């Protein structure tokens, strides 16, 4: 007898996963290895930036009070007593009418409070003249104007991007506290599957899901370990699953989660004693996506159909892994766009159509990326987004505004209201 599965909503499925996620520990990595990792601590300014008043231009540092009354008819002269380059320091104070030649980035003398730019000065022997008064702090890059000591600049949970590397370097983080990365095992099941390099045989197809999942993981900065291809055989799959679970933090399988004669994953979860969170989701493609947990380790059972597999990964495995890595924004970025094709046939399940999202500067549009059955492989290659068409009694027409999830962008805030 065929097992009847009760579908749950996508939102419920995500929430079942997210509430069980246990965050990974943190580790220290050197700054040069920190790019793309997730911050396990907030970046707090441990000193003012800049750390001293400095010259933003090449020119002359003066005491602004000495420039009072300067005009075209009443040029005021300054004597240059010293020259400061970036990296120099002058502890002696300026006396009345004295100035120092100063280069961009150099610290102002203690009692100087304005910088005359080179083009604002007329050079004379031993100095220069000016023809306008300077206000206190004019042309000065102020201590702490960029960041104040103690300020929280970047909260933990953010992916470290190049600008943040600059900030970490500014504050002397030779080592950065980041969240550990999970190692994910990938196992493709199916007696029809060939390795990529094998020639086609009648009845066989190449394993495209395994390499695809490895790349989807790599896009998140997550490493994977391939456990190859398993024929549809209970014992073989069970043994390999046990090994993968032992050796990794999370296992993703493709294929074998349906109710067909050779779909062994449900029986394997049972034998392993894994808690199945769900095995049917009200979505197309990927309705048979199954997620189970064994001793805190997640087992994602994605469908073998390439489009379903791809979708199941992005909707369920991606946020789970990002949450494990304590990422602040684990969900795909969400936007809206105008539908460019009719979908008149109503569907009871929410559809995730592989699509091309485009913005021409005036209007955002979304167009199906081609053949979009669950077994399609071409549309996942052509698309850069999912258009989300909620299930129900109505279809969708060209011109409708529809929800869109963007793929290949590193963080987002869809939060699953859709």
Sites of contact with Mg ion (CB under 5 A): 190, 255-256, 304
**213 interacts with ligand AMP by CB under 6 A:** no
Binding partner of residue 254 among ligand AMP, Mg ion, none, CB cut-off 5 to 8 Å per kind: ligand AMP
Report the SS3 class of residue 198: coil
Q: How far is residue 173's CA from residue 152's CA, in Å, rounded to a whole number?
A: 15
Please return the burial class of 416, using the count of CB atoms within 10 Å of its CB with bins 0-12, 13-18 and 19+: middle
Taking the least distance from each CB to ligand AMP, the nearer of 139 and 208 is 208
Residue 278's contacts (CB-CB under 8 Å, 6 or more residues apart) are: 8, 12, 13, 16, 289, 290, 291
- The closest of 23, 21, 24, 16 to 289, measured between CA atoms, is 16
**139 interacts with ligand AMP by CB under 6 A:** no
Taking the least distance from each CB to Mg ion, the nearer of 137 and 377 is 377
Strand partners, 352: 388
Q: How far is residue 416's CA from residue 418's CA, in Å, rounded to a whole number?
A: 5
Taking the least distance from each CB to Mg ion, the nearer of 304 and 306 is 304
Q: Which of residues 2-21 bind ligand AMP (CB under 6 A)?
A: none
**194 interacts with ligand AMP by CB under 6 A:** no
Please identify, among the stretches 15-23, 164-172, 302-310, 357-365, the one whose residues bind ligand AMP according to the rule CB under 6 A.
Answer: 302-310
Percent helix, strand and coil across the chain, each to the nearest 5? 20, 30, 50
Pairing of strands 364-368, 350-359: antiparallel
From residue 236 to residue 265, the character string flagging contacts with ligand AMP as x (rule: CB under 6 A) and all else as - is ------------------xxx-x-x-----
Minimal CB distance residue for ligand AMP? 304
Please count the residues of this chain forming the interface with ligand AMP, following the rule CB under 6 A: 19
Q: How far is the CB of 189 from Mg ion (least distance, A)?
A: 6
- The closest of 323, 394, 321, 396 to 366, measured between CA atoms, is 396
- In this structure, the number of other CB atoms found within 10 A of the CB of residue 194 comes to 15
Q: How far is residue 385's CA from residue 97's CA, in Å, rounded to a whole number?
A: 66
Judged by CB under 6 A, the residue of 27, 41, 58, 192 near ligand AMP is 192
The enclosing H or E element of 80 equals strand 76-84
Taking the least distance from each CB to ligand AMP, the nearer of 248 and 254 is 254
**369 interacts with ligand AMP by CB under 6 A:** no
Q: What does the angle CA 120 – CA 124 – CA 128 come to, to the nearest 5 degrees?
A: 40
Q: How far is the CB of 281 from ligand AMP (least distance, A)?
A: 14
Report the SS3 class of residue 245: helix
**208 interacts with ligand AMP by CB under 6 A:** yes
Binding partner of residue 364 among Mg ion, ligand AMP, none, CB cut-off 5 to 8 Å per kind: none
Taking the least distance from each CB to ligand AMP, the nearer of 288 and 322 is 288
Q: How far is residue 323's CA from residue 320's CA, in Å, rounded to a whole number?
A: 5
**321 interacts with ligand AMP by CB under 6 A:** no
Please identify, among the stretches 68-76, 134-142, 243-251, 304-312, the one whose residues bind ligand AMP according to the rule CB under 6 A.
Answer: 304-312
Which residues bind to ligand AMP, rule: CB under 6 A? 188, 190, 192-193, 205, 207-210, 254-256, 258, 260, 303-306, 375
């Amino acid at each position: 007898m065929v097992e009847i599965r009760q579908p749950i909503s996508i939102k419920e499925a995500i929430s079942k996963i997210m509430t069980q996620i246990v965050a990974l520990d943190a580790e220290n990595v050197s700054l040069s290895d920190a790019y793309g990792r997730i911050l396990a601590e907030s970046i707090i300014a441990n000193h003012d930036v800049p750390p001293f008043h400095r010259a933003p231009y090449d020119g002359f540092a003066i005491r602004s009070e000495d420039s009072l009354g300067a005009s075209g008819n009443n040029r005021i002269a300054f004597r240059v007593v010293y020259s400061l380059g970036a990296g120099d320091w002058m502890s002696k104070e300026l006396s009345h009418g004295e100035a120092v030649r100063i280069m961009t980035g150099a610290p102002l003398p203690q009692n100087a409070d304005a910088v005359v730019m080179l083009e604002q000065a007329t050079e004379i022997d031993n100095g220069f003249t000016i023809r306008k008064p300077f206000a206190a702090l004019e042309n000065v890059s102020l201590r702490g104007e960029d960041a104040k000591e103690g300020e929280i600049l970047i909260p933990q949970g953010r992916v470290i991007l190049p600008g943040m590397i600059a900030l970490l370097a500014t504050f002397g983080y030779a080592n950065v506290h980041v969240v550990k990365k999970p190692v994910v095992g990938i196992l493709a099941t199916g007696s029809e599957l060939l390795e990529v390099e094998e020639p086609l045989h009648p009845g066989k197809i190449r394993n495209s899901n395994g390499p695809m999942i490895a790349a989807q993981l790599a896009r998140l900065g997550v490493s994977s370990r391939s456990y190859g291809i398993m024929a549809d055989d209970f014992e073989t799959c069970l043994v390999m699953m046990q090994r993968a679970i032992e050796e990794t933090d999370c296992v993703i399988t493709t294929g074998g989660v349906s109710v067909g004669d050779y779909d062994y994953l449900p029986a394997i979860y049972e034998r392993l004693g894994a808690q199945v969170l769900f095995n049917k989701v009200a979505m197309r493609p990927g309705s048979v996506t199954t997620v189970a947990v064994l001793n805190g380790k997640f087992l994602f059972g994605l469908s073998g159909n390439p489009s379903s597999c791809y979708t199941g990964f992005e909707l369920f495995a991606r946020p789970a892994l990002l949450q494990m890595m304590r990422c602040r924004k684990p969900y795909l970025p969400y936007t809206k766009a105008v539908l460019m094709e009719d979908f008149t046939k109503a569907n009871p399940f929410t559809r995730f159509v592989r699509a091309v999202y485009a913005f021409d500067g005036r209007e955002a549009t979304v167009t199906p990326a081609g053949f979009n059955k669950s077994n399609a492989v071409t549309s996942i290659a052509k698309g850069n987004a999912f258009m989300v068409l909620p299930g129900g009694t109505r279809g969708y027409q060209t011109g409708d505004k529809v929800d869109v999830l963007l793929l290949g962008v590193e963080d987002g805030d869809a939060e699953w209201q859709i």
